[in-house]
Chain A
Amino acid sequence: MDAFIAGMAILTDPYMVGIILAGTVVGVVVGALPGLSGSTTAALLLPITITMTPVAGIAFLGAIYCAANFGGSITAILINTPGDPSASATAYDGYPMARNGEAGRALGISTIASAIGGIFSVFVLIVAAPLLAKAAYSFGPPEYFALAIFGLSMLAAVGASAGIRNLIMGAFGVLLATVGLDLMTGVERFTFGVAELSEGLELVPVLTGLFAISELLVQAGRLQIVPERMGLTAMRLPSMADYRKCAKAIGLSSVLGTFIGILPALGATTAALISYNETKRWSKYKDEFGKGSIEGVAGPEAANNAAVGGSMVPTLALGIPGSATTAIILAGLIVQGVRPGPHLFNEQPTLLYAVFASMLAANLIYIVLGLFGAKLFARITLIPDAILWPGVLIFAIIGAYGPNQSLVDVWVMLGFGVIGYVMRRYGFSPAPLVMGLVLGKLVEETLKQSLLIFDQNWLLFFTRPIVLTLFVVTMLGLCAPWLARAIRGGAKSARPPADAR
């Protein structure tokens, strides 16, 4: 309880409030800019957090994460271009609302729904993360190995083809984590004689390359596309009738978003898309969806912000990132010398509660920003690409160069920018690669430690109940999309044809 009060006390510290406010404003601004997602910005600004205290650095990144999801809805509604991928479902009804002259109403409900979803998930985080950490306290290397494999296997849960692609990228990330000296034998792996690679690939250049530089190249190919912008004449708050209409959608999506966020690897975008479908399924006004349904805005917005708090649960309690942005926050914690996991709750509880408090504050701050500043934030999209993206390149270069003052890292960033661009061109997302890269060292270390414990007998993994359970859940998770398809196919073929009926 003392730690809780001490953590919450950061909200009375003007410096911390300033940091959270800055993180929230940056989050909304970059969220509103198409192409600059929360994960890209977190990667770009990660080196700056090194100069801050661990609490301030993580609070800053946490605030960006919370606010970027909301910021993405501004452009999704006004120009039909989601600023953040998690806002893509918001555009389905937000943009038609804007075309119907209801941009203010759409932005208003988006703000309120986002805040409710976000605050709900932070409360779940406060309750669930310590419980999960307590359960994981007795975990040894075999359990952590099984947990990391489970986390990576969740990359397959998004669907058949995309699932295989994500798994390949996750495995590629794990492979990249092996670059550098093998700690057990001191043998160099994949360094090709470059001394700077001996300690492995630095996370920041890889992340800025994969997210920022690859996006810059994507934008270079789209310079001729001029988005259609909707004017925002007046900020009209949603009426009581709107709230009543959306209450069920917001409640359902908050729960759904938090749950999806807790599952490793499934982030805000998946939560928003699933919630959109569920909101439609449970709505009394199904016909309005796709034509400007206010519930169609409220549902995904509540869900994508609820997923933020949810995805922090496995990140902080187990050290297994719940999404691409939390993988970057995890990297931020590691850079700060903080190792996330169950022990963190005993060793640095104040830091954790400070992070929770900062996320809560960020959700409250962007209600004010969203309701009174949306018109201003919408103007950010007017910055020409020819001015915006060179600035992003400079930030990316400084971000890559900063931590080690190494030019090799800048070239690594450019190389991963090209890799990211090629990956995206062939339908591979960079986020699973980041998950694999962050978890790679954990996978290798815990596998080697486990095999030492088991005297190189792989079968002994199955004698540990938690490991066995996690392996079974992993197998079920891997097979789920195909099982579901087979069941659906079976049901279809079992149904008699229409003429027979």
Chain B
Amino acid sequence: MTARDRRRLDESAGEVAGEPHRAVSDFAVGLGIVAMAVVVWVVTTGFDEVPASLTQGMGPAAFPRLVLGVIIVLAAWLAFSASSREPLTLEPVHPMVFATLAAMAGVIGAMLLLGIHGAVAAACIGMGRLWGERRLALLVVIAAGISLSLHVAFVRGFGIGLPRGLLQGWLG
């Protein structure tokens, strides 16, 4: 099977699984941005009030609101000029994207608990396995190599402290 055939197969995977490609017009995208900008505008109403003498003309909320106004105008322009353009075709999000995102959160969690070396092990072995690498010994060697290199380069070489993690803190 050639690479092109595989690509076609992969592209059609979503449709085979019953998830057809979705068309999203710039109208919807523009309106979505306007809605988000309005929400942020509401957030700016919660900024602390300051006396006019302190603001010297422009209050803390004035500039963000000015920028939000520009975003709203541009997004409305995108929405109302959408009829002259083809809608955007979106492929379904591959389940691996969500799995990878969860794995990344897991790696950061491992860093919180076990420090950078725990994160390296979680990333190299956990994500490596998730992404299809089956040679566990190779992943372990790579994780050990990266851990050692990071310690030599960052801690010894550049003098940058690496995260130690809660466990190391307690044990230390």
Contact = CB atoms under 8 A, between A and B. Distances in A.
Interface in A220-237: 220-228
B63 A448 contact: yes
A386 B74 contact: no
Contacts, number: 181
Interface string A207-243: 0000001001100111111111000000000000000
B43 A190 contact: yes
Contacts of A444: 63
B18 to A, nearest CB: 18
A221 B19 CA distance: 15
Interface residues of A, number: 63
B68 to A, nearest CB: 7
Interface stretch (A132-140, A171-179, A462-470): A171-179
A417 B55 CA distance: 35
A390 B10 contact: no
Interface in B75-128: 75, 77-78, 81, 85, 88, 90-91, 93-94, 96-97, 99-101, 104-105, 107-108, 111-112, 116, 119-120, 123-124, 127-128
B172 interface: no
B161 to A, nearest CB: 6
Task: Name B's interface SS.
Answer: helix
Interface in B1-42: 2-4, 6-7, 9-10, 13, 24, 26, 29, 33, 40
Given A171-B74, A175-B71, A398-B116, A393 B127 contact: yes
Given A185-B59, A185-B60, A410-B111, A394 B150 contact: yes
A188 B47 CA distance: 7
B111 A397 contact: yes
The interface centre, meaning the residue of B40, B78, B97 with most chain A CB atoms within 10 A of its CB, is B97
Given A161-B26, A410-B108, A402 B88 contact: no
B132 A456 contact: no
A226 B6 contact: yes
A397 B165 CA distance: 14
B133 A384 contact: yes
Contact of A167 (B74, B127, B138, B146): B74
B74 A220 contact: no
Contacts of A189: 44, 47, 60-61, 64
A452 B56 CA distance: 7
Contact of B93 (A221, A225, A387, A411): A221
B137 interface: no
A38 B69 CA distance: 33
B56 A391 contact: no
B74 A168 contact: yes
B120 A394 contact: yes
B54 interface: yes
A414 B104 contact: yes
A19 B55 CA distance: 47
B123 A394 contact: yes
Contact of A386 (B2, B64, B90, B131): B131
B75 A168 contact: yes
Best-buried of A185, A226, A228, A387 by chain B (most CB within 10 Å): A185
A444 B131 CA distance: 44
A402 B43 CA distance: 31
B160 interface: yes
B132 A217 contact: no
Contacts of B163: 401, 405, 407
B43 A451 contact: no
A388 to B, nearest CB: 10
Contact of A185 (B2, B55, B77): B55
Given A164-B74, A228-B3, A391-B146, A217 B101 contact: yes
Given A398-B116, A451-B57, A421 B97 contact: yes
Interface string A248-268: 000000000000000000000
Interface in A389-427: 389-391, 393-394, 397-398, 401-402, 405, 407, 410-411, 414, 417-418, 421, 425-427
A385 interface: yes
Nearest to B33: A168
| Top 10 A-B pairs, shortest CB-CB distance | A386-B133, A386-B131, A221-B94, A220-B100, A187-B60, A182-B60, A228-B3, A390-B123, A51-B158, A224-B10
Interface of B: 2-4, 6-7, 9-10, 13, 24, 26, 29, 33, 40, 43-44, 47-48, 50, 54-61, 63-64, 67-68, 70-71, 74-75, 77-78, 81, 85, 88, 90-91, 93-94, 96-97, 99-101, 104-105, 107-108, 111-112, 116, 119-120, 123-124, 127-129, 131-133, 138-139, 142, 146, 150, 154, 158-163
Given A160-B81, A161-B78, 5 more contacts: A221-B91, A384-B133, A414-B108, A417-B104, A448-B56
6 contacts: A161-B78, A165-B78, A386-B132, A391-B124, A398-B160, A405-B161
Interface of A: 47-48, 51, 160-161, 164-165, 167-168, 171-172, 174-175, 178, 182, 184-185, 187-190, 213, 216-217, 220-228, 384-387, 389-391, 393-394, 397-398, 401-402, 405, 407, 410-411, 414, 417-418, 421, 425-427, 444, 447-448, 451-452, 456
